[in-house]
Amino acid sequence: MTKLTPISFSETDLDAIATHVGRVAVFVDGEGKMDLAARRVNRLTKGAVERLLESERWGKLSDGDVVSMAYPAGMLADAVDIVRLERNAKGVPARKAGASLAKTRGGKADMLVICATLRKAEDVVYGLAMRDYAFEDHKTAESTRSGAVLVMSGKPDELEAACKPLLAVAEGAHMCRDLTNEPANILTTTNYAERLKEMEALGLKVEVLDEEALAKLGMRTLLSVGQGSVSPSYVVVMRWEGGKKGEAPLALVGKGVVFDTGGISLKPGAGMGDMTMDMGGSAVVAGVMRTLALRGAKANVVGLVGIVENMPSGNASRPGDVVVSMKGDTIENLNTDAEGRLVLCDVMWYAQQEYKPAAMIDLATLTGAIITSLGHENAGVFSNNTSFCNDFLKAAEAEGEGAWRMPLGQAYDDLLKSRIADMKNIGGPAAGSITAAQFLQRFVKEDCPWIHLDIAGVASVKTATALAPVGATGWGVASLNRLIADNYEAE
């Protein structure tokens, strides 16, 4: 797994500024007021910082932006990074500042970050840790990631303690990105299950259900998706029991299709290579569970992921087949490329039957239709419970992760009616993301608050985001962790 950039903390030492080799970062507020560290850099560079602050360039910057001065006179540093940030900044702008520093660091240089007067320096550290990521497992060239970050503060012990849970989120997001970026010949269904099993070392209870166990449970729709592949299907259950004994858990359910050809309803060749990310929903669940264990969350959470591969073969499901779900409903499979909902519906039903959760959230790179609706800026949010939904939307907004509530309704559900079975797995060309959510809602018990997150547009992107480079983003790990911290942690 990609490791976080080594970050250490110490007391502010202004004399170290002149002798540090690498990069030095200092902060200046919007009015151009320099703190002690910035003033020391200004003195060493014979007024260079002051001249920058008087320039037109500085006036055009917003909170979190960085200006770099290469090879500053009077210092041994390769560069000085001047960060524009208000001293009381927190959340998104402070994290943007950290991400900006990660980009200027470029993954290699040792960096000294002097947060002398910042009140929420932990958000800067978090943004740096999140953005300082590269997936290099399959490159033979020397890694672009080396060096370390030293953060100086007036109260380093307090800052380190404040950073600890945030760095746990960053590590969970890195795991999510690694899994989502991994090619399917490496992240096979079996390899995936083994990686999740390894998290027992963190204190999670992990159970791997193989095909024999799934057949006994009646997970026929999930098994039907994987029957065309030589790779076996699994359900992996990860439990974190940090809350009150006997308290109902929050259930997180993820779609883990390690590769999706579309099956007999074969996808076009162009872009099919991107389907290594079709297990993105399950990767978010894994990342959240890792985060909860690392920070010792005082909550009961169960994460369940259905791991399959959707391949065409002589044994693959055919369009028009009828399969019986674990719930007992019959489903006419009119499109084998609408497979994610067949994986999720059995795992969701099992989660409710086995763990009787207080609430349930499923995540999936489920439909291209949600990208048509929301692009790559927002995940689609569907829910049967407004209060629960609002709690999540509030958490997502606080974390700067785009999320937008989408409608549900009987008219959409009616599109799933089948002539020969209880339902079809597709509703036609219109409202594809909504009818997919309606399908899943049929497997949610009436008394279970539920959210469906369609993350097809945000799980992996072609352009860098605020806190992630091109590729897998780790979207959702931070929002779900905050939802749990704010609403499910025992006091």
Q: Which positions are annotated as active-site residues?
A: 267, 341
Q: Which two tokens stand for residue 453?
A: 């997150």
Q: Which two tokens stand for residue 174?
A: 């890195």
Q: Which long-range contacts (CB under 8 A, 24 or more apart) does 215-218 make?
A: 217/326, 217/350, 218/324, 218/325, 218/326, 218/346
Between vectors from CA 218 to CA 245 and to CA 229, what angle results, nearest 5°? Answer: 110
Q: Which two tokens stand for residue 345?
A: 């519906």
156-181 helix and 280-295 helix, angle to the nearest 10 degrees: 160
| Neighbouring residues of 345: CB distance < 8 A, sequence distance ≥ 6 | 221, 325, 326, 327, 439, 440, 442, 443
Contact 286, 304 (CB under 8 A): no
The full 3-state SS of 422-471, as one line of letters, equals: CEECCCCCCCHHHHHHHHHHCCCCCCCCEEEEECCCCCEECCCCCCCCCE
Q: Which two tokens stand for residue 17?
A: 């500024």
Distance CA 285, CA 260 (A): 19
Distance CA 75, CA 442 (A): 65
| Neighbouring residues of 488: CB distance < 8 A, sequence distance ≥ 6 | 243, 250, 299, 300, 301, 358
